[in-house]
Amino acid sequence: MDERDYSIALNMVEGLGSLRLAQLIRVFGSAGKVAAAGDSGWRQHGIGEAGVRRAMAGCIAAPEFLAEMQRIEQQKVPVLTLDDPEYPDMLRQIYDPPVVLYVRGNVSLLAMPGVGVVGCRRASWYGLQQAGRLASGLARRGVCVISGLARGIDTAAHKGALEGGGITVAVLGSGLDRVYPPENKALAERIALQGALITEFPLDTPPLAGNFPRRNRIISGLSRAIVVVEAAARSGSLITANLALEQGRDVFAVPGQAGSATAQGTNQLIKDGAKLVETADDIWEELGMTATAPRPEEAASGAVDAGLDEVSRQVLAKLSHTPLYIDTVIQLSAHPAAVVYQRLLELQLRGLVKEVEGKRFVRV
C-alpha cells in the first residue's frame, strides 16, 4: 500500500474527521504512520474514543475499504492526497483541508483561477438569470466557475459557465457515484467532460445533510472569491460566504429586490461590507485582472437593437429580469394588444425574450 491508499482508508474512518486526520498526518509524518501508530500512539495524540481507535486499527483490512479500492481501480478515479503535486494549493492552505479529493474529470483544472458562484435552491427567475449571466461572463474570461451542483443558483451557474464555453468545477456533498440532486445527473456528466466533479467523500456516500457544510468550505477554499447571487436570511450560501472571509477570500453579492425573501441575505451581505456586483467585469476588475475580451453586455447591446423596429424596441425596453404579466406589458408599452403579442413572439424567436409560467415574460 502507498500513502494514497492509507489516506483513503483513514478518510473512511467514521468519527475521525478531516481536521483531526490532517493534524495527525502532520504530527506522525504520513498517513501510513498514523495507521501503524497503534492504540497508545493514538491516545497520546488525542484519539480517545474506543470505537474510533478500533476503526483505525482495522481500516486497512475493512471490507468497506477493500470494496472502495476495487471501485476506484475499476472506474479509474483519480484520488489526490495533501502531498500530491496536483492537489490545489489554495485548498491545501485552508484551516481544514480535505485529506483526499476524489476527481472525475480533468484534474489539472483545479489549478485554474476560480470564482465560486452560490445561492439559494429556491431561486427566483431573476436570480437564475443573474447567476447564469455572471458565470458565462467569467467563463468567457478564462475564469473557472466553482459551485455545488445544488438546485437553483448552483445549477444556473454551472450551466452558464458551460454555455459560455468555459470551465466549471462542481463540489459534491456526496460520493461521485451518488450525484445529487438526481435531476442533475446529465449536467454532472457534462461537467465531468468539460470540467471536473470533486468530493472528499467515498464513492458511494449518500447526500447526507451534514455533508453540505463540509462541501461549502471546499467551494470557498478553491475560489479566489465567492459571489452570492440570492440567499435568504438564514442560508447555506451565507455559511459559504463566512467561510470565504475566514479563508481570506473576497466576497461579492448581487443586490436583490427590497422585501424579497431571497434577497434578504445578499442585501445584508452588502450592508456588512460585501462588494456589490452587477456584471462579470465587476468581479474581474476587483480581482486585479485585465479583460482580454469585449464585455458580453457591450457585445450584446449592439445585437439587441440590430433589425428591431421602434415598436419592438419599446416593448423590449419595458421588460426586465423580473417576470411581467402580458396585461402589464401591454399597459406599459401603450400599444394595442395584438401588436404587443406579435412583437413578443418575434422577440422570443430572436432569443431576446422568454415566456415563463402564467403568461409572464422576461428579458433574456
Q: How many CA atoms lie within 13 A of 42 on its CB side?
A: 22
CATH number, residue 210: 3.40.50.450
Q: Does any domain span residue 348?
A: yes
More confident residue, 73 or 265: 73
The size of the chain, in residues, is: 364
CATH number, residue 333: 1.10.10.10
Q: Are 290 and 324 members of one domain?
A: no
**Whole-number pLDDT of residue 187:** 95
More confident residue, 66 or 349: 66
Q: Are 282 and 323 members of one domain?
A: no
Q: Are 220 and 317 members of one domain?
A: no
More confident residue, 353 or 143: 143
Whole-angstrom Cα distance, residue 312 to residue 343? 6
Using DSSP bridges, classify how beta strands 100-105 and 360-363 pair: parallel, antiparallel or unpaired: unpaired
Residue percentage of the chain with pLDDT more than 90 = 34
Nearest to residue 102, comparing CAs of 243, 203, 244, 249?
203
Using alpha carbons, list the distances in angstroms from residue 288 to 80, 187, 285, 291. Answer: 30, 31, 5, 10
Q: Does any domain span residue 39?
A: yes
Q: What is the pLDDT of residues 141-164, one digit of tens each?
A: 889 999 999 999 999 999 999 998
Residue percentage of the chain with pLDDT more than 70 = 93
**Whole-number pLDDT of residue 37:** 77
Residue ending a domain, among 37, 59, 76, is 76
Q: Are 263 and 118 members of one domain?
A: yes
pLDDT tops 80 at residue 49: no
Q: Are 130 and 235 members of one domain?
A: yes
Integer distance in angstroms from the first to the last C-alpha of the chain? Answer: 54
More confident residue, 65 or 146: 146
Q: Are 312 and 257 members of one domain?
A: no
**Whole-number pLDDT of residue 297:** 42
Q: Are 256 and 351 members of one domain?
A: no
Q: Does any domain span residue 282?
A: yes
Q: Are 266 and 347 members of one domain?
A: no
340: number of Cβ within 10 Å: 23
Q: Does any domain span residue 99?
A: no
**Whole-number pLDDT of residue 289:** 59
Q: Does any domain span residue 98?
A: no
**Whole-number pLDDT of residue 2:** 84
**What pTM does this model have?**
0.78
**Whole-number pLDDT of residue 255:** 87
Residue 230: left if φ>0, alpha if ψ -120 to 50, beta else—which one?
beta
Q: Are 155 and 15 members of one domain?
A: no
Three-class SS string for 207-221? CCCCHHHHHHHHHHH
Q: Are 287 and 325 members of one domain?
A: no
Q: Does any domain span residue 209?
A: yes
Whole-angstrom Cα distance, residue 206 to residue 257? 36
Q: Does any domain span residue 85?
A: no
Q: Are 19 and 127 members of one domain?
A: no
Q: Work out how many domains the chain is built from and give that number.
A: 3
pLDDT tops 60 at residue 293: no
pLDDT tops 80 at residue 263: no
- Going 265 to 257 to 229 to 154, the CA torsion angle's sign is positive
Residue 70 belongs to what domain range?
A: 3-76
CB-count burial class (<10 Å; 0-12, 13-18, 19+) for 186: exposed
**Whole-number pLDDT of residue 51:** 66
Residue with cell 415598436: 311
Q: Does any domain span residue 93?
A: no
Q: What is the pLDDT of residues 154-203, one digit of tens each?
A: 999 999 999 988 899 999 999 999 999 999 999 999 999 889 999 999 99
pLDDT tops 70 at residue 11: yes
Do the Cβ atoms of 154 and 188 come closer than 8 Å?
Answer: no
pLDDT tops 70 at residue 300: no
Q: Are 311 and 283 members of one domain?
A: no
